[in-house]
Structure 1
Amino acid sequence: MSRSERSPLLLAGLLATAGIAHFAAPRQFDAIVPRGLPGTPRTWTYASGAAELALAAGVALPRTRRTAALATAAFFVGVFPANVKMAVDWRNRPAPQKAAALGRLPLQVPLVLWARGVAANAEGRS
């Protein structure tokens, strides 16, 4: 299997793992939900976990890959405020935790580009 054939499956695996984590350990995700959103943080945690699982399924299937990968890129942009909140909230934590929170911010760029690359390489059937 070539690198370009593995890439969508790796992205789907990342999304599925993150989606499952939202249900398995929701409290850590609740803490980074921006305060201005309506409803409870747990609702947003579960909704984003469900979205990640749906995106994982869509990216894994060649028929829906292009559309799901574009939606994944948009999703990665959409969750950026949660990463900003985490970085702000963790600014007084020990250096390794602070570094992890700050490191998540620029990580969004390659994730968005990865999802867009998967979409660009997908067959135009979706």
Structure 2
Amino acid sequence: MALARSTKILALGFLGSGVVHLVKPEVYEPIMPSWVPSHREVILGSGVAEIALAAGLLARPTRRLAGWGSVALLLGVYPANLKMAADAMQSDNTALKVAALGRLPAQWPMVRAALAATRRD
């Protein structure tokens, strides 16, 4: 069975985001909720997880497990997206508000793609 387009896109997104987490972790520090401990370590760990999940989604033997891991990761980082949206609403920058609010519903197609990967051979 050929790799689904949604799985390829999800894997590519995880790979890109994971690299940014590792190379420029300071990009993510402002959106970390205050209740999350050890911000830098969590950011670096999530970058490693994203890269591992990207590889897992691309490999048939690990795709199902990586799909479930992807669902967990996407749900786990959702509070950061909520914080980013709440912070953006305090800004005078309309583009920032639009981008931050747009991320919230954009997360759900990624969750659907991850769930679909759990059902593929």
Tell me the TM-score normalized by structure 2.
0.91
1:54 to 52, 55, 67: 52
**Structure 1 residue 16: deviation in Å?**
0.4
CA deviation profile, 1:21-42 (whole Å, cap 9, x unmatched): 1122211101111110122x21
**Structure 1 residue 90: deviation in Å?**
1.4
Which structure shows the higher helix fraction?
2
Q: Does the Cα contact within 8 Å between 1:33 and 1:44 map onto a contact in 2?
A: no
2:7 maps to 8
1:108 maps to amino acid: Q
Q: Which runs of 5+ in 1 are unaligned?
A: none
Q: Distance in 1 between matches of 2:99 and 2:25?
A: 19
Tell me the TM-score normalized by structure 1.
0.87
Q: Distance in 1 between matches of 2:50 and 2:74?
A: 10
1:12 maps to amino acid: A
Q: Distance in 2 between matches of 1:49 and 1:11?
A: 14
Q: Distance in 2 between matches of 1:5 and 1:87?
A: 31
Q: How many percent identity over aligned positions?
A: 39
Matching of residues 1-126 of structure 1 within 5 Å: 5-39=4-38, 41-91=39-89, 92-120=91-119, 122-123=120-121
1:104 maps to amino acid: R
Q: Which runs of 5+ in 2 are unaligned?
A: none
Residue-pair matches, total: 120
Q: Distance in 2 between matches of 1:55 and 1:82?
A: 19
**Structure 1 residue 7: deviation in Å?**
3.1
